[in-house]
Amino acid sequence: MKGKLEPAERQKLIEEGKNLKEALTTLEEDLVKLRDELQIEAQCIPNLTHPDVPIGWEDSSKLRNMVGSPRKFDFPVKDHLQLGKELDLFDFDAAAEVSGSKFYYLKNEAVMLEMALVNWTLTEVMKRGFTPLTTPEIVRSSVVEKCGFQPRGENTQVYSIEDSDQCLIGTAEIPVGGIHMDSIVAESALPLKYVAFSHCFRTEAGAAGTATRGLYRVHQFSKVEMFILCRQEESDMYHEELIKIEEDLFSSLGLHFKILDMATGDLGAPAYRKFDVEAWMPGLERYGEISSASNCTDYQSRRLGIRYRPSESPSTTSKKGKTNVAATKFVHTLNATACAVPRMLVCLLENFQQEDGSVSIPHPLRPFMGGVEAIYPKSR
Write out the residues near another protein by the rule CB under 8 A. 91, 94-95, 97-100, 103-108, 111-112, 114-115, 118-119, 122-123, 131-140, 143, 159-163, 166, 175, 178-182, 197, 199, 201, 219-220, 370
CB nearer another protein, residue 85 or residue 107:
107
Q: How many CA atoms lie within 13 A of 349 on its CB side?
A: 30
User: Using the 8-state DSSP alphabet, how is residue 361 labeled?
Assistant: P
Minimum distance between the CB of residue 324 and another protein, rounded to whole angstroms?
27
Spatial distance between the Cα atoms of 359 and 344, rounded to a whole number of angstroms: 14
The string over 131-165, giving b where at least 16 C-beta atoms fall within 10 Å of a residue's C-beta and e elsewhere, is: eebebebebbbbbbbbbbbebeeeebbbbbeeeee
Q: In the bound complex, what is the minimum distance in angstroms from residue 373's beta carbon to another protein? A: 17
- Closest contact distance (angstroms) between CB of 335 and another protein is 16
CB atoms within 10 A of CB 279: 24
Which DSSP category does 353 fall into?
Answer: B
Cβ proximity to another protein: between 43 and 131 the closer is: 131
How far apart CA 196 and CA 137 sit, in angstroms, is 11
Question: Is the Cβ–Cβ distance between 375 and 87 less than 8 Å?
Answer: yes
Q: How far apart are CA 359 and CA 86, in angstroms?
A: 11
DSSP secondary structure string, 195-249?
A: EEEEEEE---TT--SGGG-GGGS-SEEEEEEEEEEE-GGGHHHHHHHHHHHHHHH
| Cis before 54 (ω within 30) | no
The reply to whether 273 belongs to the active site is: no
Q: Is 292 considered catalytic here?
A: yes
Closest to another protein by CB, 140 or 302? 140
Per annotation, catalytic residue among 128, 137, 289, 366: 289
Length of the chain, in residues: 380
Q: How far is the CB of 94 from another protein (least distance, A)?
A: 5
Nearer to another protein, 135 or 171 (CB): 135
Q: Would you call 188 a catalytic residue per the annotation?
A: no
Set 109, 124, 198, 202: catalytic member: 202
Is 289 assigned a catalytic role? Answer: yes
Spatial distance between the Cα atoms of 117 and 97, rounded to a whole number of angstroms: 28
Q: How far apart are CA 144 and CA 166, in angstroms?
A: 9
Phi, psi of 107 (to 5 degrees): -130, 155
Task: Examine the residue annotation and report whether 380 is marked as an active-site residue of this protein.
Answer: no
CB closer to another protein out of 135 and 300 = 135
Using only the alpha carbons of the chain, give its radius of gyration: 27
- Name the residue nearer to another protein (CB basis): 32 or 161: 161
CB 202 to another protein: min, Å = 11
Residues involved in catalysis: 202, 217, 289, 292, 343
